[in-house]
Each structure stands twice: as structure tokens, then as C-alpha cells.
Amino acid sequence: MNKLIARVPINTTSIGNVSINFLKEFFNKGLEVAVFPHQEPIDLSAFDKLPSDFIAWLKDGIDNRYRIIEKNIPTLQVWNIDRSVERYSSRSFLYTFYELDSPTGEELNICKSHDKVFFSSSDALRVFRSSGLENASYIPLGFDKDFFQTNKNYLKDSIHFGLMGKMEKRKHTLKVLKLWAERFGNKREYELSCAITNKFINIEDTNKAISEALEGKYYENINFIPFMGSNSEVNEFMNAIDIDLTGLSGGEGWNLPAFNATCLGKWSCVLNATSHKDWATSENSIQVEATGKEPAYDGIFFVKGVKVNQGNINTFSDQDFSNAMDRAISISKKENTKGIELKEKFTYKKSVDNILSNIY
């Protein structure tokens, strides 16, 4: 039996979702895995459909990690570049997510310290290779089978937009909110539900930022959804909407919310840049072309002058946003059959098979 050391976050974040899906595939393959969580205790609260035998296997991998670990067993980290420098064995592999366009020397050196780096985005691989990184490849993510079509009727008499993901400049969250309100605010034939909680920003600052984006106005057709604590709640959210706006992010390593919504047959308005180019096409999404770039710096997640996360995000024009809304509305009640096909094209089994073929 092949053995593996896995250094992964097990929590309710997007990267935590990726880690759980990787671990499920390791379990399905019968691997013996020494699991080193990035923080303990682990948080499985979002994963309300995990089978008991997998949970027992995961607990065993954590409890017995020091019994399993050996010098020559390969280590796979699923983590950010700057915090992946630790080595747990003689062979080190990193699966990571990069969202900008300007790798720093420090980021390059950390990547070179691993035996190989797997990027979730072909665009990230491109910018790192152009900067001199050779020990890297692109391995896409897959569709999370915790999500499924409920076939329920939600808001039949209105067109329902959804905006997911943590509120952040990189994601253009407040810009999208502002433009939507200017176009559709208080028009009852349209609804916008926002699930944009960011646990790194306190509620007072969040509310202030939203109020500024909406110029202090209240819109009866804009709903702010509290933090959704389980994948079942997220699944209901994605099934309830007709049009996803999460894809208008200016820089992504994959964009799980927009991708998963598309796989469920919804129409996502997607900025044709960074990782979106790996899965979004003119047939399965409403594509918006980038009009330029702007610095990513927000003083919170991207700070100018530090040793990592330096560079730019992609932008779009107000007019292109409006045009995308027109196209999305015209097909909003039509099932996105090409989007549904993505579920078979991109699977976590394929992702893990590719990772393991590189490792072993």
C-alpha cells in the first residue's frame, strides 16, 4: 500500500473543501495517510454528508500520524506558497492557488524548494514558468459531489442573482454590488442574494463597506445571507439562483462557487481571465472580457511591498457588466446544459490521479 503525508487545512474555507475532497479520494484508493492539519482541532462542520468510515479513516490518519511518518514517504501540502516552506519528509510536493500576475523572488524560491508544485490554474503556471520556475505543472480541480440539483421551485416570479465568496477587492464584490443596485435596485422582478461574509473582516467594517457601496440606500430586493455553515446550505443557495455573479472576480485560483453553480446548470457571468479560462467558455457561461488591470492591494489580504502576493487583478467596464446582465437575463430560466457537462470533465478523482502519478 502506498503511503503519503498530507499537510492540509481541514476547515470551512474553500481550500478546506479542496483538502477534504483530496482526502476522500485518498481514502477511496486505500492509501495510508499521515494527516497533519494546519490547525487543530479540525473543523468538519461544513461537511454534513461525510460517511462515517471516512471520518474514522481521517481520525486514524491524524491520531497515528507520527506512527505512519517516515523520511522517504512523499509529502503533499495543500496550502499557500508563502507558508509551505516546511518539509515533513525528503520528498515534498505542493498543491497551491495563485491569483495575481507577478511572482516575487521569495515565492519562486519557495516553489523551487519543493520537488514539484501543482497549480490549480494554467494561468498561474504560465506566469511562474515565465519567471523561471521549471518544477511545476497545472492540475485542475473537480466538481464537489456534495452539491446536486434539488429540482425545487424557488423564486418563480423573479430573476434571482447570486453573489458568493468572501467580500474582497480582488473579487470585485462591492463593485458588483454597486453596479447591480444601480441597474436593478428596488425592481421587484429581480432579486439579489449576497453570501459575502468574510470572517477576517469584522461585522462593523463589513456593514460600513456595504453601506458605502450602496451610498447608504436600502434596497428591498437585495438580501444579505448570514454565513452558511454547511455544504447543504450552500447547495440550496446555488440551486435557488438563476444567475451567478461570483465569476466577475478579478483574480482566481479556480473559483469554486462560480464553477459549482455552473455545474448545477446555472449561468455564471465570468471574467475571461486567470483560472476562469480553464473551465468557462462562451457556451457554458456569460463571458466578460477584461479591460485592463489594477493593483490588487487592499491593505488586508494584499499589502504592497511585502515579500508575497504582489501584483495586479483584472478589471471590467461598467458597460460590459450591463451588457452581461442583458445576456444573462435573456437565458436565465434556461438550464445550462453545457455547464452541467463540466461535472464529468472535471472530477476530483482525475485531480488526485494526476497528483499521485506525479508523486509516485
Instruction: For 170-219, write each residue's pLDDT tens digit.
Output: 999 999 999 999 999 999 999 999 999 998 899 999 999 999 999 999 99
Q: Alpha-carbon distance 39 to 9, whole Å?
A: 7
34 with 3: CB under 8 angstroms? yes
The cell numbers describing 197, all together, are 461574509
Helical residues (DSSP H) of the chain, grouped into ranges = 14-28, 52-63, 65-68, 105-113, 122-130, 173-184, 203-213, 231-240, 256-263, 318-331, 337-340, 342-345, 348-359
154 with 332: CB under 8 angstroms? no
17 with 45: CB under 8 angstroms? no
160 with 241: CB under 8 angstroms? yes
The cell numbers describing 52, all together, are 462515517
DSSP structure string for 240-277: H-SEE-GGG-S--S--HHHHHHHHTT-EEEEESSGGGG
CATH architecture of 3-143+347-359: 3-Layer(aba) Sandwich (3.40)
The cell numbers describing 265, all together, are 446548470
Give the closest residue to 101 by CA, choosing from 80, 139, 130.
130
118 with 101: CB under 8 angstroms? no
CATH topology match: 3-143+347-359 vs 159-345:
yes
Domain range list for the chain: 3-143+347-359, 159-345
Reduced to 3 states (helix: H, G, I; strand: E, B; else coil), residue 347 is: strand
Residue position matching grid coordinates 453570501: 195
Instruction: For 211-264, write each residue's pLDDT tens digit.
Output: 999 999 999 999 999 999 999 999 999 999 999 999 999 999 999 999 999 999
Query: Taking the mean position of all CA atoms in its chain, how far away is CA 166?
Result: 10
Give the closest residue to 189 by CA, choosing from 221, 166, 231.
221
Angle at which helices 256-263 and 14-28 cross, to 10° = 60
Residue 126 neighbours by CB under 8 Å, 6+ apart:
none
Residue 320 backbone dihedrals phi, psi, to 5 degrees: -65, -35
Q: Alpha-carbon distance 88 to 213, whole Å?
A: 45
Per-residue pLDDT of the chain (360 residues; tens, 9 = 90+): 699 999 999 999 999 999 999 999 999 999 999 999 999 999 999 999 999 999 999 999 999 999 999 999 999 999 999 999 999 999 999 999 999 999 999 999 999 999 999 999 999 999 999 999 999 999 999 999 999 999 998 888 899 999 999 999 999 999 999 999 999 999 999 999 999 999 889 999 999 999 999 999 999 999 999 999 999 999 999 999 999 999 999 999 999 999 999 999 999 999 999 999 999 999 999 999 999 999 999 999 999 999 999 999 999 999 999 999 999 999 999 999 999 999 999 999 999 999 999 999
CATH architecture of 159-345: 3-Layer(aba) Sandwich (3.40)
For residue 37, whether the previous peptide bond is cis, meaning omega lies within 30 degrees of 0, is no
